[in-house]
Structure 1
Amino acid sequence: MSRPLIGITAYFEAARWGDWVREAVLSPPAYAKAVERAGGAPLVLPPINLHAVDDYVRQLRGIVLAGGVEVGAAAYGGEQDARAAEAQAHRDRFELALARAAVQADVPILAVERGMHVLNVAQGGTLIPWLPDVLDHDRHAEPGTPHVIQVSVSSRLGKAVGDQVEVVAPHRQSVRRLGGGLLAVAWADDQIVEGIELQGHRFGVGVQWHPERGEDGRLFDALVEAAR
């Protein structure tokens, strides 16, 4: 059986080869390995040419919107928080266009961490630019601290991972207003949205945590199965 081609978004960063330092297209290998283990063929997508988006969507059988720097507030008409990392506008533009095209074409999407925010903004939603400002704690930003997420059992996410999942997912942004066609399907104990899904889409799932890390490959299995 042939492996479905799964695109993985990437970003530009400086990289070193010996004494050379050059801008490079980078993607943590955990994404590609998770896709490969699930039976897909991973393809890294550089955030360069918006004109290539429609071509990608026609050729790809699935897309992973990967994690990374927070989405810039300009993408959803907000004001950039000075405490947030500098936005990568070129990546925002590319991934928002890719997400919209994939939704329109019914291409399966797994949106991870930042990718969940991209999917929400692409559908007209907004984000909380600095989560600690709206909570009485900063637990969501603590690295290495696991917490239990409640998942709707009737959702695609729930069918893949069950009604509860323990995750480590430090973040300082979160969904504020859901975009069109999206449902919240997973929540932290303080009701911060940790998972979203596209209604009426073949497979459109976004999660706040990083399912590519560790041994639990069920979400990637579900993505590749939908891509077949």
Structure 2
Amino acid sequence: MNPLIGITCHHDFEYLYMLNSSYVQSITEAGGIPLLLAMGMKNDVSVLVDRLDGLVLSGGFDINPLFYGEEPIQELGEIYPGRDDNEMELVRAFLQADKPVLGICRGHQVLNVVQGGTMYQDIHTQIEGNVLQHIQRARRDHLSHRVQILDDSKLSKIYGTSSILVNSYHHQAVKEVGDSLKVCGTSSDGIVEAIVSEKHNFVVGVQWHPEDTACSGDAPSKKLFAAFVEACS
């Protein structure tokens, strides 16, 4: 039976729930059944965990820094605190149930914060040295920079290689890694690009957007979604 996989959405707090169609396409092509999750489900988390086989935390705007013990700096972008609350409750429940979670971009960061990790609110002002262009000026399926994958990690086994090319759309990044999480991918400037849980069957966060590149035929991106959906099965 094809696994039922929840995908979190962005909400503009006026009219629309929004999600790029590439998330749905990537899950569907990997053999999953996608279900878009609205906000305001904190009281229904236990029902969702029981009925869903996996969770995708989608991309979006910045995380409220109060969740990791900091106050906002000038360069902090737009935040949606209601979404933070909702997704963190979902993540805690899925981790407790040890059901698969795939965090993408913002979702990768949410995974880290839930586990007690911290964030760079803005990599361009808070990290010294030459930082790569992490908000690429190219179409979303363009592979813009390389990520080194830790040998013998879950991702190296999925990809079958120690280096992949990714796209990039972020100005925040993981700083201190949360409990039970391990860094398994970095860019050449030292930015944490991928994390995995050492306590759970399949809990992976990636800083890039594999849903966009999977839809354009990128083999490593397709392998990631295939591995995630298989873990959900």
Normalising to structure 1: TM-score of the pair? 0.92
* 1:17 match: none
1:202 aligns with 2:201: yes
Q: Is the 8 A contact 1:64 1:111 kept in 2?
A: yes
**4+ residue segments displaced more than 6 Å:** none
Write the distance in 2 (CA, Å) between the matches of 1:53 and 1:122. 15
Contact 2:75–2:121 (CA<8 Å) still a contact in 1?
no
Counterpart Cα distance in 2 of 1:101 and 1:160: 25
Runs of 5+ unmatched residues, structure 2: none
Alpha carbons of 1:140 and 1:104: their partners in 2 closer, same or farther (altered >3 Å)? farther
Give the unaligned 5+ runs of structure 1. 15-21
Q: 106, 122, 128: which one pairs with 2:120?
A: 128
- Tell me if 1:88 matches 2:86: no
Task: Kindly indicate whether the alpha-carbon contact (under 8 Å) linking 1:140 and 1:172 is maintained by their aligned counterparts in 2.
Answer: no
Distance 1:47 1:140, change over 3 A: farther
Contact preservation (8 Å) 1:140, 1:171 = no
Q: CA RMSD in A?
A: 1.4
Decide whether the 8 Å contact of 2:130 with 2:189 is kept in 1.
no
Q: How is 1:62-101 mapped onto 2 (pairs within 5 angstroms)?
A: 62-101=54-93
DSSP 3-state at the match of 1:165: strand
C-alpha separation between the residues in 1 aligned to 2:191 and 2:134? 13
> Given the two structures, how large is their TM-score scaled by the length of structure 2?
0.90
Structure 1 or 2: larger strand share? 1
Distance 1:27 1:168 in 2: 18
The equivalent position to 2:47 in structure 1, one of 55, 67, 74, is 55
Are the counterparts in 1 of residues 135 and 171 from structure 2 also a CA contact under 8 Å?
Answer: no
Deviates more, 1:5-14 or 1:197-206: 5-14
Q: Which position in structure 1 is the counterpart of 2:227?
A: 222
Identify the match of residue 152 of structure 1 among 145, 150, 153.
150
Structure 1 residue 138, shift from structure 2 partner: 4.4
Q: Deviation digits for residues 101-143 of structure 1, max 9, x if unmatched?
A: 1111101011000000000001011101110121323424341
Residue 17 of structure 2 corresponds to residue 25 of structure 1? yes
